[in-house]
Amino acid sequence: MSEQMQVTRELFNDVMVPNYAPSNIIPVRGAGSRVWDQNDNELIDFAGGIAVNCLGHCHPALIKALTDQANKIWHLSNVMTNEPALRLAKKLVDATFADQVYFANSGAESNEAALKLARRWALDNHGSDKDQIIAFNQGFHGRTFFTVTVGGQAAYSDGFGPKPGGISHVDYNDLEAFAALISDKTCAVMIEPLQGEGGLVSPTNDFIKGVRELCDKHNALLIFDEVQTGVGRLGSLYAYMELGVTPDIMTTAKALGGGFPIAAMLTTKEIAKSLKIGTHGSTYGGNPLGCAVAEAAFDTVNTPEVLNGVIAKEAIFRAGFDAINAKYNVFSEVRGKGLLLGAVLNEQYQGRARDFMVAAAAEGLMALVAGANIVRFAPSLVIPDADIAEGMARFEKAVAKIVNA
């Protein structure tokens, strides 16, 4: 037997493409909202794999679903369907506005499918002139060339040659500018019901309802990107449910599989008709392993206990931020909803979000950023209150070190 390979952070620099700059910490095991690295140092996880680990690490329901399915069947391709995919699709349809589901592997893929469907629907029903897609500045919809161009952050899409055309951007929460841009040539509007990467910006009531009304007026499809906001993250199963606005197409990923890569695009039967046989596909989409795990994650999250718990835990986090800020005066506000929260750094600490994230890691806390000025938390939806308290205590130590440096 060959000697056990030495796995170090330095190995990353040798064997991995340099588009990431990961921490020096390499976690090797997790349980609940805690993980342990190669040296058995413990960290509390407020990052949640960027809003993916909705039930923390190694949740018993997910382990059981995965191991049960692993002993049955792993992969078939879409030449055949499978039981876990059909069960999960039925549960998604029963719990939402949608009639039909398309499965993919990632948020970007589900958004790609939504955009392709919208264009094909417009062509089928209104002709080739109706092709404009409107999205929002600072939005984020994935890293495929189509989705990254629709995302309103040019830094992510520049430098790869000619971009897909027919895409326009406008500021989030600016209904007047949106109204001036939308027309009968608009086929779809893609929007996050709370901007994530763009700064945890919540929509105003007038804005989100106005967008829906203008889409109706101009016969444009409204696509909700719920990749980050969905599956209980904001305290409702999907964010649209509390906004009083129903999309025509919705995408969901991240937390859907609780850590297993899976995504879905949901829509009505009438719109879905445009994805005829052969118009779109995915080799792994609807994979039995992913669907089995996602079914268990979905069943666990979609309960009053968990969803109401998210709102209760949000209050604990906000109180923790307030207490830290009362002592150290580093945040101008706390944005977001449920367990997708961002502490915005004030004038004195502009551009230093990464410093806070690194300092937190040194104190045994995994955190995130949203741009240069926001420290973001997206923990497990079932994180124990004791872990929140301990995590916030560690975060306070990190804040103190930066303030007193």
- Helix (H) or strand (E) segment spanning residue 365: strand 365-366
Q: Which two tokens stand for residue 403?
A: 């303030």
Pairing mode of beta strands 249-252, 340-345:
unpaired
Q: DSSP letters along 307-356, please?
A: HHHHHHHHHHHHHHHHHHHHHH--EEEEEEETTEEEEEE-GGGTT-HHHH
Say whether 73-301 and 9-59+304-404 share the same fold: no
Q: Which residue has the tokens 């606005």?
A: 245
**Catalytic residue status for 225:** yes
Distances (CA, A) of 355 to 212, 368, 369, 403: 39, 11, 10, 11
Q: Which of 46, 103, 136, 140 is catalytic?
A: 140
Q: Express each pLDDT in 182-219 by its tens digit.
A: 999 999 999 999 999 899 999 999 999 999 999 999 99
Task: Sheet containing 331-337: give its strands across.
Answer: 331-337, 340-345, 374-377, 368-369
pLDDT digits (tens, 9 = 90+) for 1-17: 446 788 999 999 999 99
Provide the pLDDT for residue 5: 86
Is residue 260 within 8 Å of residue 283, measured between CB atoms? Answer: no
When mean pLDDT is compared across 86-95, 159-168, 309-318, 351-360, the lowest value belongs to: 159-168
Q: How far apart are CA 214 and CA 182, in angstroms?
A: 8
Domain ranges of the chain: 9-59+304-404, 73-301
pLDDT, one tens digit per residue, over 125-140 is: 999 999 999 999 999 9
CB atoms closer than 10 angstroms to residue 192: 25
Per the residue annotation, which of 131, 178, 224, 225 is the catalytic one?
A: 225
- DSSP reduced 3-state for 135: strand
Provide CATH code, domain 9-59+304-404: 3.90.1150.10
What is the CATH architecture of 73-301?
3-Layer(aba) Sandwich (3.40)
Q: Is 160 a catalytic residue?
A: no
The dihedrals phi and psi of 4, each to the nearest 5 degrees, come to -55, 130
CA 369/CA 366 separation, integer angstroms: 11
* Catalytic annotation, pick one of 130, 254, 313, 337: 254
Is-catalytic flag, 254?
yes
